[in-house]
Amino acid sequence: MGEPLPSSMEQFRQQVPLTTYADYAPYLIEKREEVLPEKPAFWARTSGRGSEYPCKWAPIFNKVWDVQKERAVMTALIFASCSGRGDVSLSEGDTIPYCMAPPPYGFGWLVHGLIEAFPFVLMPSEDKAEHMTFQERIGVGFKLAFREGIDHFLGLASILVKVGEQFSEGSEKATKFSFELLHPKVLYRMARGLVKSRLAGRPMYPKDLWKVKGIVVGGTDTSFFKKQIAKYWGREPLGIYGGTEMLLVAVQTWDYADMTFLPDLCFLEFIPEDEHLRSKNEPGYQPRTVLLSEVQAGKKYEMVFTVFGGVFMRYRVGDMIKITALRNEKLNIDIPQMVFEARCDDIIDLAGFTRMTEKVIWQAIESAGVGYEEWAVRKEIENSHPILRLYIEPKREHRNEQAICEAVHQGLKKLDSDYGDIEQMLGYRPLQVTLLAPGTFERYQANRQAAGVELAHLKPPHVVTRDEVIDRLLQMSLSAA
């Protein structure tokens, strides 16, 4: 921060610039502990940005970790399993299936912290799970759950939905036979579940087998999966918000409404949406920020974090949130309420598994040898799954949509292994292709020019977040056909 140390918010803003991971990458990617104020308790890993850097590493210090595991994560578990204020339904020996990536991934560390803070039982145990693949951990975890039950779930919403779908479809993967199923506890659980489903006149769902106390899920796709999780598991999931660099920042409370900030874990600043857009259009511009006491209901903001006891200062993680209210009137919580709105840069988060960038998608199209005039991509929901929809105008291209999709899909798998995990773990292909008629993008630009749009904004962005852009492209494609 320089000298003297800031004595006011204005001085803090003047002396400390807004930062991104690129400012820390030269030191943290190589885990250079000699540049840190103290030795970290551990290093946490998260997805990087394709070819820019393969992953992001963040040092987590003991003071930060103690607060997170004893307050933030336990708060989420208590809220997810309680029936109201003052109710705590956690018990020693409560079971949690190990359905997330282990340390050094951030979510794995949070689960590790839970075990340090409270005597939960992980299925499988940590020492066994670290030697298993992601798929093996999930399989073993649910196999043990047939005998031991499931009290809580902490992980990605997409995993819960996938398990529910397997039960609904009568998939062998859901109840694959083994001699362990002959255990009396398992036979009783299966028989009871079968009776419940028959009486309900539907396939067997996980809620017929397990009465889960609480479900805590992370990932930007959580809101899309809420209804499905409640349908299959009999309990609404409680959403959390955070990231590897700052860990948990906000949680839903026991009313399952919008999230409440945990304001003592990070110093929070907010970049108003118009300031964010200006900073994107004017490189080098330092957008102004407002504080938690200055946000307005109904407004969108880019999040800025200074981690108490950490190294990230005035850190722009790239998330856009919306302030829905200045307090929770129902529960009398006098803290602003928020929902995650979107990634505010060119990153597309798919099912919590990977974050795709424009650069990686572009590389995949090029490596596939697809001739094109122009393309655009956005995240959509199809059959309740998040997908990557590529809208492309071919140039002398004789391959059909299916062939182009296969070629680009294989290219993405080579460039981003986490992308390939979606197909393997969740059983569906995340990429879909829509061919646009010749002349689509030319008509789009002519239409925008006629509307008086500035020259720099005539072309649509490659990574699209606004529905009207895609609607206009499809309209231009129909008129060009």
Residues of the chain below pLDDT 50: 50-51, 171-172, 177, 179, 456
Q: What is the CATH number of the domain that holds 398?
A: 3.30.300.30
Q: Which domain holds residue 417?
A: 348-480
Strand bridging mode 247-252 / 372-382: unpaired
Q: What is the pLDDT of residues 133-165, one digit of tens each?
A: 777 888 888 889 999 999 999 888 878 888 888
Confidence at residue 171, expressed as pLDDT on a 0 to 100 scale: 46
* Domains held by the chain: number: 2
Is 64 domain-assigned? yes
Asked whether residue 379 falls in the same domain as residue 456, the answer is yes
Asked whether residue 221 falls in the same domain as residue 365, the answer is no
Confidence at residue 267, expressed as pLDDT on a 0 to 100 scale: 96
Asked whether residue 341 falls in the same domain as residue 352, the answer is no
Confidence at residue 314, expressed as pLDDT on a 0 to 100 scale: 97
- Kindly write down the DSSP assignment for every residue of 283-338, as one continuous string: TT-----EETTT--TT-EEEEEEEETTSS--SEEEEEEEEEEESSBTTTTB-S-EE
Long-range CB contacts (within 8 A, 24+) of 176-179: 178/143
Q: How many CB atoms lie within 10 A of CB 147?
A: 15
Confidence at residue 345, expressed as pLDDT on a 0 to 100 scale: 66
Contact (CB, 8 A) for 265 and 249: yes
Contact (CB, 8 A) for 245 and 267: no
Is 289 domain-assigned? no
Confidence at residue 431, expressed as pLDDT on a 0 to 100 scale: 93
- What's the Cα-to-Cα distance from 420 to each of 271, 287, 404, rounded to whole Å? 34, 37, 17
Contact (CB, 8 A) for 348 and 391: no
Is 296 domain-assigned? no
Confidence at residue 362, expressed as pLDDT on a 0 to 100 scale: 86
Q: What is the CATH number of the domain that holds 218?
A: 3.40.50.980
